[in-house]
C-alpha cells in the first residue's frame, strides 16, 4: 500500500513471503520499522537483518533488496523522505547525515516513525509534519558518523507567543506560515524550540486544546458531532481518533462514564 503525502514524502506498507524486491535504489532516505517477521536485505556489501521494532535507515542512491527471513513472512512500513527536507530542517547545516549502521533499536526514533506511519489513509496535518521532519532530522544526526547542528538558544518569548496564538485559534486550522510570522523563525526551528520549552509539539498542543474544548462541550450536554465541529476537528472520525489516542477511550464512552458518575 502506497500513500504519498505533501513535500515529496511517501509512505508504504509491505507484506510478503520469500523475496519481495530485487536490487533497486531510491533518491530519498528510506526510514522504516519492521512490524512482524524477520526482514532481510543486502545493503552496502553486507547482509542485514531487522526484527520487529527495529528502525531501518537506507540512504539515497544505495542499492538494496528485500526478503522475508523466515517462512512466517514479513510486514513492515517505510517512509521515503527527500534529502531536501533534512537540509531545510538542519538549522543551517548544508550536508546530510550518514548513518553507517542501517538497522538499530531506538525507541524515540521508532515512536516518531510509528506516528508518521500509523494511518496511511490520512495525510498528516501540516504542523505535525513539521514536527516529524524535525524529529527525523534530530534522530538521524544522533546516529550519524559526524556531528550535527548544535542546539541554539531558546527564544522563550517567541515560543510563548506561538503557544498563545495556538490557544486563541484552536478551533480552526493554523498553518506553519502563520506560526513562522508570529514566532519570527522557520517552522523546523519552531518545532524544536516549542518541544524543548513546553515538552510537546505545536500540533499536539493545538490538538489538546481542541480536545479540551470538545470535552467541555460534551460535559454541557452537546452532541458528539457538534462537539467535534465546534472544537475544530475535520469530522467526527478525526475527533474520535484523537480523543482515543489522548484518553484511551472513545468520546462516547467518556460521555457515558461522565454522565453515569
**Residues 35 and 63 placed together within one structural domain of the fold:** yes
Structural domain harbouring 230: 205-260
pLDDT band of residue 147 (cuts 50, 70, 90) is: low
**Residues 212 and 95 placed together within one structural domain of the fold:** no
Gap between the Cα atoms of 128 and 126, Å rounded: 5
Chain centre distance of CA 23: 28
Looking only at the bridges linking them, the beta strands covering 46-50 and 74-81 are unpaired
**Residues 218 and 245 placed together within one structural domain of the fold:** yes
**Residues 55 and 178 placed together within one structural domain of the fold:** no
Gap between the Cα atoms of 42 and 132, Å rounded: 28
Gap between the Cα atoms of 127 and 81, Å rounded: 17
DSSP 168-221: HTTTS---HHHHHHHHSS-HHHHHHHHHHHHSS-HHHHHHHHHHHHHHHHHHTT
**Residues 20 and 72 placed together within one structural domain of the fold:** yes
User: What average pLDDT does this structure show over 50-68?
Assistant: 94
Residue 137 clears pLDDT 60, i.e. is over it? yes
pLDDT band of residue 119 (cuts 50, 70, 90) is: confident
SS3 of residue 87 by DSSP: helix
Q: How many domains does the chain have?
A: 3
Q: Is 11 domain-assigned?
A: yes
Gap between the Cα atoms of 256 and 239, Å rounded: 17
- The string over 118-136, giving b where at least 16 C-beta atoms fall within 10 Å of a residue's C-beta and e elsewhere, is eeeeeebbbbbbbbbbbbb
The predicted-structure confidence for 69-104, as pLDDT tens digits, reads as follows: 999 999 999 999 999 998 888 776 767 889 999 999
**Residues 26 and 56 placed together within one structural domain of the fold:** yes
Longest CA–CA span in the chain (Å) reads: 63
Nearest to 225 by CA among 241, 236, 216: 236
Q: Is 27 domain-assigned?
A: yes
Residue 234 clears pLDDT 60, i.e. is over it? yes
**Residues 192 and 217 placed together within one structural domain of the fold:** no
CATH at residue 16? 2.60.120.280
Q: Strand locations in 7-161, DSSP E?
A: 10-16, 19-24, 29-37, 39-43, 46-50, 55-58, 64-68, 74-81, 103-104
pLDDT band of residue 150 (cuts 50, 70, 90) is: low
More confident residue, 35 or 254: 35
**Residues 138 and 244 placed together within one structural domain of the fold:** no
pLDDT of residue 92: 67
208's grid cell: 489538546
Gap between the Cα atoms of 156 and 47, Å rounded: 47
- The string over 221-240, giving b where at least 16 C-beta atoms fall within 10 Å of a residue's C-beta and e elsewhere, is ebebeebbbbbbbeebebbb
Q: Whole-number mean pLDDT of the chain? A: 90
**Residues 52 and 179 placed together within one structural domain of the fold:** no
**Residues 38 and 130 placed together within one structural domain of the fold:** yes
Residue 4 clears pLDDT 60, i.e. is over it? no
CATH at residue 237? 1.10.10.60
Amino acid at each position: 500500500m502506497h500513500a504519498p503525502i505533501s513535500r515529496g514524502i511517501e509512505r508504504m506498507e509491505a507484506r510478503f513471503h520469500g523475496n519481495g524486491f530485487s536490487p533497486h535504489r531510491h533518491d530519498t532516505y528510506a526510514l522504516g520499522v519492521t512490524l512482524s517477521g524477520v526482514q532481510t536485505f543486502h545493503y552496502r556489501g553486507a547482509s542485514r537483518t531487522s526484527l520487529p521494532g527495529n528502525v531501518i535507515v537506507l540512504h539515497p542512491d544505495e542499492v538494496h533488496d528485500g526478503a522475508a527471513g523466515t517462512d512466517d513472512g514479513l510486514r513492515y512500513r517505510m517512509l521515503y523522505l527527500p534529502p531536501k527536507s533534512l537540509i531545510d530542517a538542519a538549522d543551517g547545516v548544508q550536508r546530510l547525515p550518514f548513518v553507517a549502521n542501517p538497522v538499530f533499536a531506538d525507541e524515540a526514533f521508532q515512536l516518531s516513525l510509528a506516528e508518521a506511519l500509523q494511518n496511511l489513509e490520512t495525510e498528516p496535518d501540516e504542523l505535525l509534519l513539521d514536527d516529524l521532519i524535525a524529529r527525523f532530522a534530530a534522530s538521524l544526526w544522533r546516529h550519524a558518523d559526524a556531528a550535527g547542528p548544535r542546539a541554539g538558544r531558546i527564544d522563550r518569548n517567541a515560543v510563548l507567543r506561538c503557544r498563545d496564538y495556538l490557544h486563541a485559534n484552536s478551533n480552526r486550522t493554523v498553518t506553519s506560515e502563520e506560526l513562522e510570522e508570529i514566532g519570527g523563525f522557520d517552522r523546523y526551528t519552531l518545532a524544536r524550540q516549542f518541544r524543548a520549552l513546553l515538552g510537546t509539539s505545536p500540533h499536539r498542543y493545538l490538538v489538546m486544546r481542541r480536545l479540551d474544548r470538545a470535552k467541555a462541550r460534551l460535559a454541557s450536554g452537546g452532541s458528539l458531532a457538534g462537539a467535534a465541529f465546534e472544537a475544530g476537528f475535520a469530522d467526527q472520525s478525526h475527533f474520535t481518533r484523537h480523543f482515543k489516542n489522548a484518553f484511551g477511550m472513545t468520546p462516547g464512552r467518556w460521555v457515558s462514564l461522565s454522565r453515569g458518575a
